[in-house]
Amino acid sequence: MRSALGLMLASVVAAIVIAGVWFWTSSPRADAAPPQTTAASQADPLSAAARQTARDDVDTTAALSKRADATQAAAPAAAPAPAPVQAPVAAAPKCANPDGLGISRTVVVDTTGGPGFGFLQYKQYDFLTDHEVVLTFDDGPWPTTPAVLKALADECTKAVFFPIGLHTTYHPDILRQVAAAGHTIGAHTWSHAHLASKKITEQQAKDEIEKGFSAVKLALGANPAPFFRFPALAHTPATTAYLGTRNIAMFSVDVDSNDFKSKSSDEVINNVMTKLDKEHKGIILMHDLQKHTAQALPTLLRKLKAGGYKVVWMKAKTQIETLPEYDAMMAKTEKPVASGRPIGNVVQTVAE
Ligand SMILES: [Zn+2]
């Protein structure tokens, strides 16, 4: 009798625990809005990035399922609870560096209305907690970018990239490497124009923004994230309003590496760590086209880890829909694709 009572009690407790797990995983987290920590799969048209994203999502999903399974195994008499998430379809490859900086939290941003992030300019959404940082890189793709990608991969961590449209036409293959590594890719205008300049009309500013996104799309073969950073952080009421109508999130900064004027990698590291000591968290602004940044990154990421900092990776809930007229404009800038074979192998002089 006592054991039957005990079994019933155990079943009730287990049911409450399972319901709790289900509720925790399925209910919206008001404190994290608009970026929400996510474990759910989502449609992501970037093919290479999507594969990586799926792996990351499976990672979290597997952990959640395991926890739910363990609870159920301990209480076979409990009523079946709703499955919190779908079972993983494939085993997730583990990071090769168990001591890597990694990703502590992935957040997905609903860019409706053009929210702004980075307290230097936009103070509405304070979604980072103490010692949480977001890694961001502007101005690529550039020949220095692969070194940045390697440093991030070595630490099993992810960043947000804001490429310049014109640079994507020089190095589309390098931008595709950024996508293949699974990082978030937004845009940073077509030609790095200062959009608050009096010489720039509203139409020209709009063209710079849209051509930037269309150029990234052309290089990737897929729509980028609706994430944008103004060159020199120079915004105007008109340009921020325009981004709002296009549902594009604006990124400012909390911690400026000042890498574009640093004379050494040590200076870049020192700038970031000193400012973090003061701010304790935030969006870090760096430039993947700066060689000192590429050189600094392996050490900088180690120092972040040693300092107890954790990387939050920002992704978009949905990708941007680029405008067809700008896509057509950018298609004209595309260079003919090389076959990959040296010209001497294709055309040989056999008689002169
Ligand atoms: Zn820039």
| Low-confidence winner among 80-89, 96-105, 222-231, 284-293 (lowest mean pLDDT) | 80-89
Q: Is 323's pLDDT higher than 90?
A: yes
Assess if residue 269 is contained within a domain: yes
Q: Are 111 and 56 in a shared domain?
A: no
- In this prediction, residue 40 carries a pLDDT of 37
Q: Are 35 and 127 in a shared domain?
A: no
Q: 281 in helix, strand or coil?
A: coil
Assess if residue 42 is contained within a domain: yes
Q: Is 137's pLDDT higher than 60?
A: yes
Helix axes 202-220, 237-245, angle to 10 degrees: 40
- In this prediction, residue 351 carries a pLDDT of 80
pLDDT tens digits for range 156-192:
999 999 999 999 999 999 999 999 999 999 999 999 9
What's the gap in Å between 165 CA and the centre of ligand 1?
A: 11
Average pLDDT for 272-291: 97
8 A C-beta contact, residue 152 and residue 102: no
Last-in-domain residue among 51, 74, 97: 74
Report CA torsion sign: 297, 34, 229, 256: negative
Q: Are 129 and 269 in a shared domain?
A: yes
What's the gap in Å between 179 CA and the centre of ligand 1?
A: 19
Q: Are 165 and 280 in a shared domain?
A: yes
CATH number at residue 323: 3.20.20.370
Assess if residue 232 is contained within a domain: yes
- In this prediction, residue 48 carries a pLDDT of 43
Structural domain for 58, as ranges: 2-74
Assess if residue 100 is contained within a domain: no
What's the gap in Å between 268 CA and the centre of ligand 1?
A: 16
Taking a 5 Å cut-off on Cβ, the residues next to ion ligand 1 are 138-139, 231
Assess if residue 230 is contained within a domain: yes
Q: Are 135 and 34 in a shared domain?
A: no
What's the gap in Å between 49 CA and the centre of ligand 1?
A: 23
Domain count, the chain: 2
Token match 């939290």: residue?
Answer: 105
Q: Are 61 and 124 in a shared domain?
A: no
What's the gap in Å between 229 CA and the centre of ligand 1?
A: 8
What's the gap in Å between 188 CA and the centre of ligand 1?
A: 7
Cα 102 from Cα 266, distance rounded (Å): 23
Q: Are 68 and 149 in a shared domain?
A: no
8 A C-beta contact, residue 304 and residue 102: no
Q: Is 149's pLDDT higher than 70?
A: yes
pLDDT-derived band at 346, boundaries 50, 70, 90: confident
Q: Does the predicted TM-score (pTM) go above 0.85?
A: no
Q: Are 238 and 193 in a shared domain?
A: yes
Average pLDDT for 252-276: 97
Q: Are 21 and 166 in a shared domain?
A: no
- In this prediction, residue 201 carries a pLDDT of 96
